[in-house]
Chains A and B, each alone.
Chain A
Amino acid sequence: MTTRIVAVALLAWGLVTAAASPAAHEPQDLQTLIDDAAPGAVLDLAAGTYRGGITIDKPITVRSDGAAIIDGGGDDTVITIEAPDVTLEGLVVRGSGDTLDREDSGIYVKAPRARIVDNRLDDVLFGIFLHQAPDSVVEGNIIGAKDVFVARRGDGIRLWESHRSVVANNVVDGGRDAVFWFCDDLEIRGNRISNGRYGLHFMYSDRALVEANALVDNSVGSFLMYSKDLVLRRNLISGNNGPSGYGVGLKDMDGALLEDNLLVGNRVGVFLDNSPQTVGIEQWFRGNLFAYNQIGALFLPSVEHNVFWENSFVDNTVQVTVQGGGRFSGNEWSKDGIGNHWSDYAGYDADGDGIGDVPYRLDDLYDHLLDRNPEIMLFSETPAARALDLAARAFPVIKPRPKVEDPAPLISPPAPPEPPFDLGVRPSAALLVGSLTMEAFAATIVLSTRRRRSLG
């Protein structure tokens, strides 16, 4: 026993002298370390817990291999960066305050060219907050949130007037938004954002490039507002549900391009509100997969100048519709003789050029009734609603005017875009066992009759 204590003591003494730093697990004064460092210094933090409320006012690098914990103790902002060219790497930041109007954050940056890389943030109100910090990089961080009601949460990532920044490969779970205010020329790539309010939220941010993100199980996957020339490409946008759930919402946007996105299993795939807002500007939707949504694309009335081609609309309960009824006049459903693929297209392709010889017309009687009587949505996908459509087709006494007319529907769906992430669909043992039990039950009942019969 005594020898063990002596050994531990010797080992600890050795470590302390070697690292020339206080022993681990005791709160250390990180602020002093920073104050003592020269500009340009690299601080390699030893493992241990450090007190938060840090201010960094010179261009230094603070890094660790994930073992240094900076704990704000539930008060205020944990780390504030006030000098340009600061790097934070591999830190664990936790325990900010919870006051929304003070913007309590994990990491709050007020100067240009910050690099916030591979950190882990937990129990923070705002995660990473870039306030007038252009040309910054936020990459590879894992950001959790305070477990409070959504209205009291802060944003996992928030950029304010931070032009030309890069936000890449972060994992954000359970916050409010990842929101970008007045930031031009952003690059948003490879992030996974789930269980928040708006996954990616753009406000007055022009020319953003948004690629290969996964926006899953939020209220809205990505809400694009008041921004110009945004490109949204090859993102996986899925499971964004709830009363106002949208995969992608566009409000007062101009010149957006949505390309090769997977919009799967949302309440509404794409929602269009006054976009494009400027006369003479077009918006393009090409190569997207709209599948298994309650509504594939939902337009507000008088939305015009959107062009859809090479998209697949597969088994959405309502493929496309105008909120409150009406038609899609002023929008195009084909470009240069190439339309979209519609899973409910019933035409044919006699000349074999891959394009249906009859236009696709969306004129379901049930859909038509639904526009004026939204309460009958209660019956969507019932055999009765299907029967109604079938009857209307067979006996076209009431011929609803088609809402959509795609003059060149694609017979087979374009190859679906490659998902940016493997969502890890694995065979399920539980369901397999459950199902086999059901089969065994059925077999037992059937065989029990045979056995008795043979017994006579």
Chain B
Amino acid sequence: MTATATKPTTGRSLPDLPERAQWRATLAIAHKELDDAVRSRWFWMWAIAFALLAGVLASVALPGSRIAGSASFGRTAASLVALVQVIVPLMGLTLGAQSIAAQRESGALRFLLSHPVNRTEAFWGFHLGLSAALLAAASAGFGAAGIVTAIRSGGAQAGAFLRITLLAWILVIAMLGVGMFISAFTRRASSALGVAVFVWLAFVFLGDLGLMGTAVATRMPVDALFFATVANPIEAFRLAALGSFVGSLDILGPAGTYAVDALGPALMPVIVGVLVLWMILPSVGAWIRFRTSKDV
């Protein structure tokens, strides 16, 4: 109890320490977090499942490559995007949700904070370490799909492929942030995980189904439909990815045509901007909550 009471003062006294020392603490925590992640079974399960699925998808989507390389690339990319939509958010959310809550539950957080480490350093240490683990898993998967694609369908759209990879990186960090946000507000790892799975369900299925239902039932105007859809980070990822390998969103019916017309050249920046906001805001929210809470 006394430890928690003195914590804010230690936190305030820390800026007096040299800048490098803070970085070093953050990095040390990040390394430790990464070590834990890589040592855990789930990491290998996710990484291998994702790499296998991505590689297999790239192979099965390419039988027409001899006929028309770039067209079948579109197919590969579309299936890869669908895969990323489902798996990557689940990876980020579950990992993020367990981070703080699990450490709190096991007492590891109390132990960590008893060292000369403030909450900000601890938080960004967790964030950095988990991000590195997730980016490694995502890169392994995309690399596998990329190798198959490069050999079998040529590099007509190598740039598009790399852009999709970059978008998936942003998405996985955004989802990690949302997971950590959940984690910062829950005491138990199991309840954080439960909330994370529900949020995943909402992002991937319920949000879209709800919007589809609303559009069908109420004749929702296309502009509202479009912006409500883009607000969902997973949809923002999908639309940005689609835009980068198809070139235009007018294939998406009236709502897509509306977006192309209304936003013109600002369309892609707006969609990617939403994704970047999702990458920043939940993480910052989680950090503020974690910094100001007294729980250990």
Tell me the minimal C-beta distance from A393 to chain B in angstroms. Answer: 16
CB nearest neighbor in A for B239: A378
Q: Does B162 contact A (CB under 8 A)?
A: yes
Q: Which residues in B have their C-beta under 8 angstroms from that of A423?
A: 67-69
Tell me the minimal C-beta distance from A148 to chain B in angstroms. Answer: 21
Q: Which residues in A have their C-beta under 8 angstroms from that of B256?
A: 377-378
The answer on a CB contact under 8 Å between B253 and A378 is: yes
Give the docked Cα–Cα distance between A272 and B105 (Å): 65
The answer on a CB contact under 8 Å between B216 and A369 is: yes
Most buried by A among B69, B139, B144, B207: B139
The answer on a CB contact under 8 Å between B151 and A291 is: no
Q: Which residues in B have their C-beta under 8 angstroms from that of A385?
A: 208, 212
The answer on a CB contact under 8 Å between A442 and B136 is: yes
Tell me the minimal C-beta distance from A235 to chain B in angstroms. Answer: 12
Q: Does A449 contact B (CB under 8 A)?
A: yes
Chain-A contact segment, one of B74-82, B107-115, B267-275: B74-82
The answer on a CB contact under 8 Å between A239 and B253 is: no
The answer on a CB contact under 8 Å between B82 and A381 is: yes
Q: Which residues in B have their C-beta under 8 angstroms from that of A238?
A: 67-68, 70-71
Give the docked Cα–Cα distance between A292 and B76 (Å): 10
Size category of the A interface is 35 or more
Q: Does A430 contact B (CB under 8 A)?
A: yes
Chain-B contact segment, one of A151-159, A261-269, A327-335: A261-269
The answer on a CB contact under 8 Å between A436 and B147 is: yes
The answer on a CB contact under 8 Å between A434 and B253 is: no
Count B interface residues, CB 8 Å.
73
Tell me the minimal C-beta distance from B110 to chain A in angstroms. Answer: 24
Give the docked Cα–Cα distance between A431 and B246 (Å): 18
CB nearest neighbor in A for B247: A241
Give the docked Cα–Cα distance between A239 and B229 (Å): 27
Give the docked Cα–Cα distance between A441 and B133 (Å): 11
A434/B212 contact (C-beta < 8 A), A265-B68, A292-B64 known: no
Q: Which residues in B have their C-beta under 8 angstroms from that of A372?
A: 216
The answer on a CB contact under 8 Å between B132 and A445 is: yes
The answer on a CB contact under 8 Å between A445 and B153 is: no
Give the docked Cα–Cα distance between A382 and B65 (Å): 24
Q: Which residues 3-34 in A have Cβ within 8 Å of B in the complex?
A: none
Give the docked Cα–Cα distance between A400 and B163 (Å): 39
Q: Does B289 contact A (CB under 8 A)?
A: no
Q: Which residues in B have their C-beta under 8 angstroms from that of A291?
A: 64, 67, 71-72
The answer on a CB contact under 8 Å between B153 and A439 is: no
The answer on a CB contact under 8 Å between B238 and A292 is: no
Q: Does B31 contact A (CB under 8 A)?
A: yes
Q: Which residues in A have their C-beta under 8 angstroms from that of B143?
A: 435-439, 442
Q: Which residues in B have their C-beta under 8 angstroms from that of A242?
A: 248, 250
CB nearest neighbor in B for A427: B151
CB nearest neighbor in A for B255: A378
CB nearest neighbor in B for A370: B253
Q: Does A281 contact B (CB under 8 A)?
A: no
The answer on a CB contact under 8 Å between B161 and A434 is: yes
Name A residues whose Cβ lies closer than 8 Å to a Cβ of B: 216, 236, 238-239, 241-243, 262, 264-265, 267, 289, 291-292, 294, 314-315, 369-370, 372-385, 387-388, 416, 419, 423-432, 434-439, 441-442, 445-446, 448-450, 452-453
Other A-B pairs beyond A376-B212, A425-B154, A432-B155, 5, CB < 8 Å: A242-B248, A292-B74, A369-B216, A377-B254, A423-B69
Question: What are 9 residue pairs bridging A and B, where the CB atoms are less than 8 Å apart in the complex?
Answer: A238-B68, A375-B222, A383-B205, A427-B152, A428-B149, A428-B155, A435-B146, A438-B139, A445-B34
